[in-house]
Every structure is written in C-alpha cells, then in structure tokens.
Amino acid sequence: MPYAFLTPTGEIRQIVAKLSPFMRVAEGERIVGYNPPSLDASMSAASAVTPVPAEAMEVEFTVQALPDEVVWPTIRARRDTLLGQSDWTQLPDVPLPTKAAWADYRQALRDITQQADPHNIIWPTPPQ
C-alpha cells in the first residue's frame, strides 16, 4: 500500500510506495495509508486518503556502526579541512599570542588520530 506524508494543514507533501527508516517526517506531519483516486469523477481526493493505525506504521530497523576503517578516512578529511582553514594563523604577520593559541589547537587536531574510538572523537575547540 502506498503512503502519503500529510502537512499539518492536511495537504499531501509526498507519496511513497513503501516506508523506509531513513525517511524524515517534518514536525506536525503525519503519515497515512494512501489509496490513489479512481477515475470516477464522483470520488473526492479527500476520500482517497485512508488513515492507518499507528501500530501498523511501526518500522523496525537495526542501526549498525560503520567499521573503523570506513570512519577514520572521514575523520582525517574533516581534520585536514580544519587544519587548512586555520593555516592563516601561522603566517609571519600573525601576532605571537594568536599564533601560539592556534598552534596548540592545530596540534590537537593532528593528535585526533591518536584517539582510540573514531565513533567518539573529542574535537578541540578553536581559540576565540
């Protein structure tokens, strides 16, 4: 059975053939079973939407963590981006106190790969 995503005002936002645990429902929206209107002109569009009990719409799924060897390259890419964004802090014309604070931050970024669990990385906070 297809499903319709209804906005808080009752308008159909989207119709899907089946539900997926990855679908997002906006605040105030609801999901209902959807019977497409027939070709009979006497049938109103409102009568085509049939509410489905909440228990019939429950979707079970299992979340599995990505393997470390998949996560580490993403962590390194983010780290490299943050390092690149802070390269300016090490230029010769940057005041020494600013340069020192940012040098500590940049070293903490380089040390990210020393953390044991890539799923719970503690990112350093950049200086203000």
**What are the pLDDT digits (tens) for 57-88?**
565 656 677 888 889 999 999 999 999 999 99
- Average pLDDT, whole number, for the chain? 82
Domain residue spans of the chain: 3-57, 68-120
User: How many residues are recorded in the chain?
Assistant: 128
What pLDDT is attached to residue 112?
A: 96
- Contact status, residue 19 vs residue 3, Cβ threshold 8 Å: yes
What is the C-alpha to C-alpha distance for residues 100 and 79, in angstroms, rounded to an integer? Answer: 19
Whole-model pTM: value is 0.52
What pLDDT is attached to residue 37?
A: 64
What is the C-alpha to C-alpha distance for residues 113 and 116, in angstroms, rounded to an integer? Answer: 8
